[in-house]
């Protein structure tokens, strides 16, 4: 596929137009050197924000009613355009985040693959949730009306870019892709840590909007401070839902703003998770060095800046657990710190690790080495026991980066008490063999109430994008435990059901018409009937 070159402008893209902000400027920084990156990005003001949200509202009627083929082809065009950018996108993202090329190429593939997966869902149409209860005029004691239901898009969606995923959870990432797949225009607020990366992808989306003949308000990319423009975006009456991946404080602030509006709206915020891993005796009878290396790799990968990084592990007390702790020490010793996303994130990590290490009953188990660049602190594993863990809230706080806490337990009751004490999490992992199942069984019902994904004999880092994946969980992992931000089910966050009772066929939307012109699968009188039925 031929590559294209994007000239960075340093401006927002509002309804297809480059707009110079009047609210000051911000630059990206190379976190490996703390050097300023050009160009400076102009920040929009409130009036310019209103232009973007008004354009999204104007685009909603036509975009929300697209036929499946036009809609799917648009998503595929975005994917094509992102791939056509070539190495330029990865090079800019490397400069702005310190992440390696292999990681970023994987992110780009995940982003384009997700868009194409969602395009297939749009063509199939099951997310539209068509249900038809045909009229039964002769039913006794009372006739039944003809009732038809489908899911419709909510309206324009505000999406906030994530610091730790400059591609997969940013401009064309999961929240944007799922909102667009639902038929909702998007106003995307770029993360100020990677403005150039956001602009390159923003142009790819804007070009797909234009080339697909869609209203330009389907997508806008804006730059501005979160404390003012971000809050104003969520408060804007044109916005009907919010997608956010970031800090607990940032997410809860947006939730509060959305709830205090005259018309409250849903905020789908992924925030804080320490992703407990439970090691059982059977699993520790194998190759401890291999298991410890895998654990350290999961803790330190991408400098631990993953929402699914294992920040908490439970290991049995006694000789087997002691041997595993020694193996972790060996595995961690040569591990060098990797460049973190920003100086601010590195400073926050250091403060969190210092605080954890000063807690009573907490000891250092293993420490790696400082990295060769700026903002690359040495990864660390600390240790404690169940009573200390249960009594100290600091030990339950997320440290965003390569740090983990090893908690030693002596019984099933210990694990049950610890699991019940946990806040909501994205994941829980069980390392076990068949001989451990009697100990695992009572833990599962507790974990079901605490996490969105339970996995066995693997690692929580690495989230498959598919139909069955759940990337969500009870608060504070997310602000809405009923949803997922990864996988095709994410589309349904931005839809709501509408019923049509005794509406003439000619006035019904296409998915509900008797002839089924879009050839969708539909549930008729409780039974799913295939396309064309």
C-alpha–C-alpha distance, residues 104 and 101, integer Å: 5
Chain Cα centroid distance, residue 407: 28
Distance between CA atoms of 505 and 294, rounded to whole angstroms? 59
Residues 6+ apart with CB under 8 A from 293: 331
- Going by the DSSP 8-state scheme, the letter that residue 43 receives in this structure is P
> Helix, strand or coil for residue 403?
strand
Six token digits for residue 528: 């799913």
The helix-helix angle for 68-84 and 195-211 (nearest 10°) equals: 140
Q: Which residue in 107, 307, 398, 423 is the catalytic one?
A: 307
Q: Residue by residue, what is the 3-state secondary structure of 155-174?
A: CCEEEECCCCCCCCCCCCCH
**Exposure b/e, 73-103, CB count within 10 A at least 16 = b:** bbbbbbbbbbbebeeebbebbbbbbbbeeeb
> Which helix (H) or strand (E) covers residue 487, if one does?
none
User: How far apart are alpha carbons 484 and 461 in whole angstroms?
Assistant: 16
**380-385 vs 403-409, strand pairing mode:** parallel
What the block records as the tokens of 429 is 């992992």
Extended strands (E) in 154-235: 157-160, 186-189, 219-222
Measured CA to CA, the distance from residue 512 to residue 515 in angstroms comes to 8
Quote the radius of gyration of the chain (alpha carbons, Å). 25
Does residue 408 contact residue 430 with C-beta atoms inside 8 Å?
no
Q: Which of 57, 58, 107, 270 is catalytic?
A: 270
| Nearest Cα to Cα of residue 166 among 218, 231, 90 | 90
270 is catalytic: yes
- Whether 91 is catalytic: no
Locate tokens 């909102």: which residue?
Answer: 179
259-272 burial, b if ≥16 CB within 10 A, otherwise e?
A: eeeeeebbbbbbbb
Q: Are 378 and 337 in contact (CB under 8 A)?
A: yes
Give the residue from 521, 426, 524, 509 showing the smallest Cα distance to 153: 509
Active site residue ranges: 270, 307
């Amino acid at each position: 596929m031929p590559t294209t070159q994007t000239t960075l402008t340093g401006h927002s893209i509002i309804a297809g137009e480059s707009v110079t902000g009047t609210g000051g400027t911000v630059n990206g920084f190379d976190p490996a050197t703390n050097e300023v990156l050009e160009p400076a990005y102009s920040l929009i003001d409130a009036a310019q924000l209103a232009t973007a949200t008004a354009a999204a509202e104007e685009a909603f009627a036509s975009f929300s009613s697209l036929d499946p083929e036009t809609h799917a082809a648009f998503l595929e065009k975005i994917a094509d355009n992102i791939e056509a950018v070539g190495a330029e996108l990865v090079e800019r993202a490397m400069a702005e985040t310190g992440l390696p090329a292999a990681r970023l190429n994987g992110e780009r593939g995940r982003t384009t693959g997700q868009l194409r997966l969602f395009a297939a869902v749009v063509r199939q149409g099951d997310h539209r949730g068509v249900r038809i209860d045909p009229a039964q005029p002769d039913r006794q004691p009372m006739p039944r009306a003809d009732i038809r239901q489908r899911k419709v898009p909510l309206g324009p969606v505000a999406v906030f870019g994530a610091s730790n995923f400059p591609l997969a959870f940013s401009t064309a990432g999961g929240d944007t892709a799922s909102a667009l797949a639902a038929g909702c225009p998007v106003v995307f607020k770029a993360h100020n840590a990677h403005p150039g990366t956001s602009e390159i992808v923003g142009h790819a989306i804007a070009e797909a909007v234009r080339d697909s003949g869609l209203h330009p308000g389907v997508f806008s990319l804006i730059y501005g401070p979160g404390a003012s423009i971000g809050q104003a975006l969520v408060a804007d009456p044109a916005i009907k839902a919010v997608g956010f991946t970031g800090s607990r404080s940032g997410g809860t602030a947006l939730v509060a703003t959305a709830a205090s509006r005259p018309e409250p709206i849903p905020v789908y915020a992924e925030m804080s998770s320490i992703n407990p891993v439970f090691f059982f005796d059977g699993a520790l009878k194998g190759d401890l060095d291999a298991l410890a290396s895998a654990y350290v790799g999961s803790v330190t990968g991408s400098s631990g800046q993953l929402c699914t990084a294992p920040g908490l592990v439970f290991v049995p007390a006694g000789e087997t657990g002691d041997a595993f702790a020694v193996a972790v020490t060996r595995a961690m010793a040569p591990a060098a710190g990797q460049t973190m996303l920003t100086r601010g994130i590195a400073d926050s990590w250091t403060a969190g690790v210092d605080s954890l290490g000063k807690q009573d009953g907490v000891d250092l188990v293993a420490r790696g080495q400082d990295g060769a660049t700026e903002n690359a602190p040495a990864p660390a594993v600390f240790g404690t026991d169940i009573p200390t863990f249960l009594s100290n809230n600091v030990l339950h706080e997320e440290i965003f980066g390569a740090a983990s806490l090893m908690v030693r337990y002596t019984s099933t009751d210990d694990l049950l008490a610890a699991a019940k004490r946990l806040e909501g999490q994205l994941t829980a992992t069980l390392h076990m063999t068949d001989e451990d199942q009697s100990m695992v069984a009572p833990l599962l019902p507790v974990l079901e109430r605490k996490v969105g994904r339970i996995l066995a004999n693997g690692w929580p880092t690495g989230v498959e994008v598919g139909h069955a994946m759940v990337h969500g969980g009870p608060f504070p992992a997310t602000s809405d435990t009923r949803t997922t931000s990864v996988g095709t089910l994410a589309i349904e966050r931005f839809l709501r059901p509408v019923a049509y009772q005794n509406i003439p066929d000619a006035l019904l939307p296409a998915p509900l018409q008797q002839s089924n012109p879009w050839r969708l699968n539909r549930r008729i009188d409780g039974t799913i009937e295939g396309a064309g039925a």
